[in-house]
Amino acid sequence: MAELSDVYFVDGMRTPFGRAGEKGMYWNTRSDDLAVKATIGLMERNAAVPADRVDDVAIAATSQTGEQGLTLGRSVAILAGLPQTVPGFAIDRMCAGAMTSVAMMGASIGAGMYDVALAGGVEHMGHYPIGGNADPNPRFVSERMVDPGALNMGVTAERIFDRFPQLTKERSDRFGMRSQQKAQAAYEAGKFQPDLVTVAIKDAEGSWGLATEDEGRRPQTTMEDLAALKTPFRPHGRVTAGTSSPLTDGATMSLLAGGGAVKELGLTPKMRMVSFAFAGVQPEIMGIGPIPSTEKALRKAGLTIDDIGLFELNEAFAVQVLSLLDHFGIDDDDPRVNQWGGAIALGHPLAASGVRLMIQLAAQFAERPDVRYGLTAMCVGLGQGGSVIWENPHYNGKKR
């Protein structure tokens, strides 16, 4: 008889994130191979988990075609050398793909159906641009279900500015600049490197090299630089490349386990899942999606926003994060928020990003035994938000 179980984030690893396009470091690398690299690295680091104990593999991608087709969870599991008895599947919730992989695998563990699972995501935006092969149903526009601008993420970000006048371009620019500065400081302090899987890469001349760190960082960014950037989504707009996540390639993978498996295998989890929630909003202003999903996750956990000691919020756009901070009364420079920078600096390979947030939160938990709860949250295309609340197993009850 299956019993309900606690759900633990045992570990997570990712590839370095690369700039999408012909000049990016992964232009000659297959996206499924990126996912394989993350999977192998994670399993090697967690050798106490027998590969045949993995009950399922969930891997997300937004563009499920070509290298990102063929039921990624299953194909990557085979390519990564997992036993062929281990099943797998693919999942899609656009930007929240990996987050949904974790939520669904976590729910399966919590219900006692699984003991151990792998959950992650991959996106090669150089090979498969967002929406490149999509064919939106004409009824969306003809029947006025969805505003045409809802299919352009930059346009939806501009509309957050329209709705909330207090969210100025200057605030957005400052947030983007600070993301770059915090990410560089974290790199210099060695915060990211332990959780990065080195990837062999080949350039246009056929020479081999190694991808060891995120490629898209611009730590020298200034407010003057940002003020001079073009606004590609609207004449005289407020969203720029400097306050948006860049087009990115990369993969993430996490190892989840139930309480019984943790005890049996002698594992040391990095986080315990407390609650998760997804919510829908108007597609044309999709960036506010994490607000209702976070409220929902807090209700399910019996917590308030004041209980959250660390926030990892996906920076699809600076203004999108600012809308959540304003809603909950959190200062733009609150040290609890994205303390090692975010997607504006590190990149946002769509379906992979949710697990990046979790990897960073888990590493911060280890440094902060005074913090009990943390939040990972992100907006999602077509008007959605996703949030997961985690508990720190290192919590000692002593707040700073």
Q: Which residues contact 5 (CB under 8 A, 6 or more apart)?
A: 109, 110, 111, 112, 258, 259, 260
Q: What is the enclosing helix (H) or strand (E) of 240? A: none
Q: Which residues are catalytic?
A: 95, 348, 379
Domain ranges of the chain: 7-130+246-389
* CATH number, domain 7-130+246-389, options 3.40.47.10, 3.40.605.10, 3.40.50.920, 3.40.640.10: 3.40.47.10
- pLDDT mean over 174-202: 98
pLDDT at 302 exceeding the cut of 90: yes
| Beta-strand relationship, 7-14 and 248-258 | antiparallel
Q: What percent of the chain has pLDDT over 90?
A: 92
- Structure confidence by residue, pLDDT tens digits, 244-287: 999 999 999 999 999 999 999 999 999 999 999 999 999 999 99
Cα 65 to Cα 60, 76, 151, 187, 396, distances in angstroms: 12, 14, 19, 34, 47
- Per-residue pLDDT at 151: 80
- Whether residue 125 contacts residue 27, with contact meaning beta carbons closer than 8 Å, is answered with no
- Mean pLDDT calculated for residue range 153-168: 95
pLDDT above 70 for 399: no
Does residue 157 carry a pLDDT above 80? Answer: yes
SS3 assignment, position 123:
strand
User: Average model confidence (pLDDT) for the chain?
Assistant: 96
Q: Is the pTM of this model over 0.85?
A: yes
259 vs 4: CA distance, rounded Å: 10
